[in-house]
Structure 1
Amino acid sequence: MPRPLVAIIDIAALQHNLTVAKRKTPQARVWAVVKANAYGHGLERALRGFAEADGLALIEPDAAVRLRDLGWRKPILLLEGCFDAVDFAIAAQYQFDIAIHCAEQIALLEQTRFPKPVNIHLKMNSGMNRLGFTPAAFAGAFGRLRDNPAVASITLMTHFANADDADNPALPLAEQLRRFQLGSAGLDAPVSVSNSGATLLHAGLTSHQVRPGVMLYGGSPGTAPAADFDLRPAMTLQSELIGIQQIHAGEAVGYGSRFVAPVPMSVGVVACGYADGYPRHAPTGTPILVQGMRTRVIGNISMDMLTVDLTPVPTAHVGSCVTLWGDDLPIDEVARAAGTIGYELMCAIAPRVRVTER
């Protein structure tokens, strides 16, 4: 029999969240981002949840091939482009859209024979300083691609560092836009600039194509709760109490004895630990639900277990349902308590965790 720990994926929530993205940007083509195994939700489920998307976007060429094998016939975009000549050959075979972010990729593109011209998404580094051509080099890269008969269309792309914090003094959103507009001035091509944060918070931006990611899975790209944007959690991580300990005041709980009971307490043991993807650094006080009632994690997270304060849940018993995040407990709230972001929790679900859907 399996452990009681299960990740429940809500296909209807995925569909709903895509609808929110489309409603926010009715003028734009929507690429549903499905990298990292659809943020831990599974590519097969993403195919059904995002069937109405205009295309799917990810970074892994092998996963892109799998999407084709699973039956996806609409466009697929490789967000980091191709990593070597083999990847370009695969992209040619499966007709992937390809991001181009450096001169080396253009050279590999020019060496690849395509059965028919491919669509290119030319990336500018507008200040995030990860991937992309500088604004000064952007037009030159565009011209080189435009003159290549293997290129069907070119989309101008950049990525915002602070869409959820537009006035960040280190790199304001307006400054990234200014650099992008300066570097792309005079280039006749559609624009793709909006990630989840821009889609939700800056829907008025000119973006002919949008690339929502975490919002599609019910996570917030910023500090505002996802529910404020009408987003629904697509993943609920549930387990059960597998033990209960009655401890006296002054007794400690877990590795390192970090939590010491101030009064006599009932402590519940949950079948979930850091080997399952729960954050090991989640401190005492991290919210958790037992029998639908809010309580807190106490003590250090173990590999296979964590402990909770059952004081608010006097009727709890071995077998009581525990919600780690999801329904009635936003994943972003758990992530903030643990000093991380919801993206990481979604993607960290371990292979040993059973996954079902509804």
Structure 2
Amino acid sequence: MARPAKALISKSALRHNFKVAQQLAPNSNNVAIIKANAYGHGAVVVAQILEQDVQAFGVACIEEALELRVAGINKPILLLEGFFSQEEVAIADKMNFWTMVENQQQLDWILTAQCSNSLKVWLKVDTGMHRLGVQPAEVESFYQQLHSSNNVDKAIVLTTHFASADESDSPSTKKQINLFTDIKQSLKASLNLGEDIVTSMANSAGILAWPQAHCDWNRPGFMLYGNSPLDRNTSNGDMLKPVMTLLSEIISLREVKSGEQVGYGGNWTAKRDSKIATVAIGYGDGYPRIAKNGTPTLVNGSVAPLAGRVSMDMITIDVTDIFDVKIGDEVTLWGNSLPVNEVAEHASTIGYEALTRMPLRTKRIIVD
């Protein structure tokens, strides 16, 4: 009998969430972001499920892109952080990887490379995130050099990234959108290209909450996996369906008296005579160690709060008020009926981190 900790990955939910992204921005193409092992869901599996629907995939680095090619994924793959060495330019040329350019070194590597094909380049502009991207005053020079190079496809994508789009009424996001729009218009006028400039602004939050940020290309990531990045509930976010349901089972039950302590350090004390269930899951399976007492789990459809410190392979939960609990009962850690964002909040983190920290030990099972 296999250890019961597992993550169910729903194909239908994944496809549904991608359709939501399409429906909210019907005039946009989409780069499905599957970096960090598709936010813990399994990059190859997610790519296989979505490949027939998406226009391209996005990853953080060339190692992630190569993993997809080895697995037979043929769609274009965007390197979101660009190249880390000039040798990677030749690999991208051969493998049909698209690349971000955000600094002078990356630009020089592309311009001096010996390419057999024209590279698809995304030029990132720093409009306020202050992490990656060329400065607004440098955009024209970078764009012109790329556009003039035989190594570069003429349809360069001008792009930026939002710092606070998850805040539903963020003034900084409005400023970023306005600045980006001004940069595009100025660039178009100064270069007199004769064609429109291809653009991309919206990440998941931009797709869900900022329709004015919908461009030629959008970049859905977190929302693909059924979770809203927004700071409040919205009708758009409510359309999403969790792709991962993290499950395990009760492996032991015991009665503890009022005043007795449970788990490492005894940081949970029974305030009444209680029934404690031990569940086969812990931080070695991706469940956050710093989840606090009271973090919800679900047993037989009822909330069973965490009672005691999370250990490597097990947690203990309070099932005193749940009728007819027995060994072998299924426990939902997050997923359907229990959003990962809610669990993450109890662990002083965000759903992004909870999902991307899922280790390989926790088996993924593809369903529906």
Same fold (TM over 0.5): yes
- Kept after mapping to 2: 8 A contact 1:219/1:226: no
TM-score by length of 2: 0.93
| Residue segments in structure 2 that go unaligned for 5+ positions in a row | 189-195
Structure 2 residue aligned with 1:298: 307
CA distance in 2, matches of 1:322, 1:57: 33
Q: Distance in 2 between matches of 1:93 and 1:240?
A: 47
Number of residue pairs matched? 356
> Following the alignment from structure 1 to structure 2, what is the Cα–Cα distance between the partners of residues 56 and 178?
27
- CA distances 1:179-238 after superposition (whole Å, capped 9, x unpaired): 223333233411100000000111233411000000000111123358843111100110
**Are the aligned partners of 2:245 and 2:334 in contact in 1 as well (CA < 8 Å)?**
yes
- Establish whether residue 106 from structure 1 lines up as the match of residue 107 from structure 2: yes
Identity percentage of aligned residues: 37
Aligned to 1:220: 228
Following the alignment from structure 2 to structure 1, what is the Cα–Cα distance between the partners of residues 156 and 6? 43
Q: Is the 8 A contact 1:135 1:182 kept in 2?
A: no
**Aligned pairs for 1:272-283 within 5 A:** 272-283=281-292
Q: Measure the CA separation in 1 of the matches of 2:245 and 2:4.
A: 13
Q: Which amino acid aligns with 1:116?
A: N
What is the correspondence of 1:1-358 to structure 2 with a 5 Å cutoff?
Answer: 1-51=1-51, 52-152=53-153, 153-168=155-170, 172-184=172-184, 185-187=186-188, 188-225=196-233, 228-358=237-367
Deviation (angstroms), 1:166: 4.6
CA contact (8 A) 1:287 1:334 kept: yes
What is the SS of the residue equivalent to 1:32? strand
CA RMSD of aligned residues (A): 1.5
Task: Please tell me the residue identity of whatever aligns with 2:246.
Answer: L
Deviates more, 1:2-11 or 1:179-188: 179-188
| TM-fit CA distance, 1:355 | 1.5
1:151 alignment partner AA: V
Name whichever of 225-234 and 196-205 sits farther off: 225-234
Q: Secondary structure at the match of 2:332?
A: strand
* Unaligned ranges ≥5, structure 1: none
Distance 1:73 1:6 in 2: 29
Give the aligned residue type for 1:88.
V
Equivalent AA in structure 1 for residue 209 of structure 2: L
User: Is the 8 Å Cα contact of residues 135 and 183 (structure 1) preserved in structure 2?
Assistant: yes
For residues 61 and 280 of structure 2, the distance between their equivalents in structure 1, rounded to whole angstroms, comes to: 32
Which 10-residue stretch deviates more, 26-35 or 62-71? Answer: 62-71
Question: Could you report, residue by residue, the CA deviation over 1:115-152 in whole angstroms, capped at 9, with x for unpaired residues?
Answer: 11111000011111110001111111111111111111
Aligned-pair distance for 1:16?
Answer: 0.6
CA contact (8 A) 2:126 2:134 kept: yes
Distance 2:253 2:283 in 1: 20
Partner amino acid for 1:123?
K
SS at the partner of 2:241? coil
2:167–2:231 CA contact under 8 A, matched in 1: no
Question: Within 2, Cα distance between the matches of 1:202 and 1:178?
Answer: 12
- Give how far 1:110 is off: 1.6
